[in-house]
Chains A and B, each alone.
Chain A
């Protein structure tokens, strides 16, 4: 049923990437009768083939193409070639994500207005409001089956959640529950309910967690208007003399190059690959890369002020059983500068298996302190910090000056250094996280440093003025009318919220806009 389109068909919308942004946009457009070709760099791995094993799954799904890092973040020291833990496969990082689906708070769209000028930060208000997005948030929540919306019950709490909840109650936190999760708490949308298997990060083998791989993509394919072409790694977007984009060049699984013509191109390769592609598409007309008249392509790279707290108790917890992100404390997500920083953070339970705990608890750590922590694994509980980090111009995805990938294109070099606000927030969150666990009897706790980034944001940001950012309020590039950005790289601010719901929301809204403009003949 999936429609195969000709390489010379210049009437198709080409979407680069099949994750939360690209996969959703593809289906939304196909449902409207628009012809869509989704080019996905990775292969198609259906959910029954996912692997309940951390390292084997990592080898199966992770984006492992060569990357380099720089800047002051510890990831650059401990994982110099792994800035991000994201996915190269059909469905993109929606195969790997934990499922937390939180709307932005109103002030998080207007950070410059609410936080004022923060030294060293490149704050900017989004050119849209929460009110404008609310109807689309509602559609996204319904589409994804988000718990505690649309009358969908919350998931049951596992052991890791119960510890978090007991500690949060003791500290007087008011807003602690099992989250707003795009994981079925009961059968819905022809997908079954969560079996509390764990391994959410390794791809849900039941299909209970929403992923474009087995929702948006097959639904789009069923219309006959969507073709997903796996193992198609786009290396360049080309344009005509007028500046309009005309086609994309991609490498197939054998490295052979093809050119797919397009009426419209939508870039949704996540916040490292999307700016890299725009920069790698530089031409005589656009010497600094496509859509880069502002100079902001690749800049303002955000990755959330993350970190984890793991704590050891006298008795077993078995935190790895059940939903990986099984609950949340939202009380610290408010903007309250009296804490010593602007913005806020969420605390969300998290569990790693033994292999990843060893790799991430204290990267580089060894000796009795480390080994005894590992010996306490069964008695551990854990949480993850998701806080708003400051956009900074020097935090950026750049093209490497010398190193090239297998297709001859410069590889991405990912630079990041914490802003003092990020450090203050993380330290506050570590203290609160440790206090939660100490309140219920933790004998030892670990303020664990950030993992390679899972939330990659901001590198093609949205702005009112063309001089401040890369795309307008519809994700359309300021410079090129038929070139769009459809992933988290559009984010003007990171907020304290896990980004997937907002990426999906923006994609649904962008599809409406593209369809309208196509009908009007303006693109």
Chain B
């Protein structure tokens, strides 16, 4: 099982530098992906942690919202880790799909491409593949259906318990 948890992984800066992952890049250590600010981490058992890190990057490239942190993309793709744990075919689909991205990206792999445009160019070439379709098709729900993200979009969600909007601005537009 995967977990998202808030913790400090206890890696020294020196150790991080040794691993060659600095700046905004996700950190891979043992069987976990850890955010660069070490605010969250995610253990993987079915998928390789490297694969998970690339999935997170891929998810952001599919739906790039610059004001939303990696944490929400990680939550959105963790279903693949869960599914890969019980479905070997799904595991193969994801691992092979990510390996293909890395191969297409050349030395340094997909995450090593600094410009989004360069990564997106690769994605445009594979957007009709079952791998991409599976990732995007799942992501459109698993990402945008996160209630914690709705305030970012200015969406207020459930309103019945608050008595609807009859007294809360259903007709409050003033700029017309």
A binding-site residues for B, Cβ under 8 Å: 52-53, 55, 156-159, 162-163, 166, 194-199, 205-206, 314-318, 320-322, 353-355, 357-359, 364, 366-368, 370-371, 374-375, 377-379, 440
* Interface positions of B (Cβ within 8 A of A): 61-65, 67, 120, 123, 127, 136, 140-141, 143-145, 149-150, 153-161, 163-166, 168-173, 175-176
Give 22 A-B contacts (CB < 8 Å), ordered by A residue. Answer: A52-B160, A52-B161, A158-B165, A158-B171, A197-B160, A199-B160, A206-B164, A314-B175, A318-B156, A318-B169, A318-B172, A322-B170, A353-B155, A353-B157, A355-B145, A367-B61, A367-B123, A370-B63, A371-B64, A371-B65, A374-B65, A377-B154
B86 CB to nearest A CB, Å: 21
Give every chain B residue within 8 A of A53 (Cβ-Cβ): 157-158
- Given known contacts A197-B165, A354-B153, A378-B153, is B160 in contact with A159 (CB within 8 Å)? no
Residues A52 and B159 in contact, CB atoms below 8 Å apart: yes
CA distance A366 to B164 in the complex (A): 32
* Contact A159–B171 (Cβ < 8 Å): yes
**Given A166-B176, A353-B155, A377-B155 in contact, is the A359-B141 Cβ separation under 8 Å?**
yes
Cβ contact within 8 Å between B166 and A368: no
Known: A55-B141, A355-B144. A366 touches B155 (CB 8 A): no
Instruction: Classify the interface of chain A: helix, strand, loop or mixed.
Output: loop
Whether B171 lies near A156 (C-beta < 8 A) is: yes
Q: Is the CB of B64 within 8 A of A163?
A: no
Secondary structure at the B interface, as helix, strand, loop or mixed, is loop
The reply to whether A364 and B136 form a contact with Cβ atoms under 8 Å apart is yes
Distance of A364 Cα from B161 Cα, bound (Å): 34
B162 to chain A, nearest CB (A): 9
Q: Are the C-beta atoms of B160 and A205 separated by less than 8 Å?
A: yes
**Pairs of residues from A and B, 6 with the lowest C-beta to C-beta distance, nearest first:** A378-B154, A197-B164, A195-B164, A322-B170, A358-B144, A196-B170
Q: How far does the Cβ of A80 sit from chain B's closest Cβ, in whole Å?
A: 11
A133 to B139, CA, bound (A): 49
When distances are taken between beta carbons in the complex, the residues of chain B under 8 Å from A157 are 171
- Identity of the chain A residue whose Cβ is nearest the Cβ of B169 in the assembled complex: A321
Which of B127, B143, B156 sits near A320, CB closer than 8 Å?
B156
CA separation between A316 and B155, bound complex, in Å?
A: 11
A355 to B157, CA, bound (A): 10
Q: Which residue of A lies closest to B158 (CB)?
A: A52
Q: How far is the CB of A275 from chain B (nearest CB, A)?
A: 30
Question: Do A358 and B157 contact each other (CB < 8 Å), given the known contacts A157-B171, A196-B166, A370-B63?
Answer: no
User: How close is B137's CB to chain A, nearest CB, in angstroms?
Assistant: 9
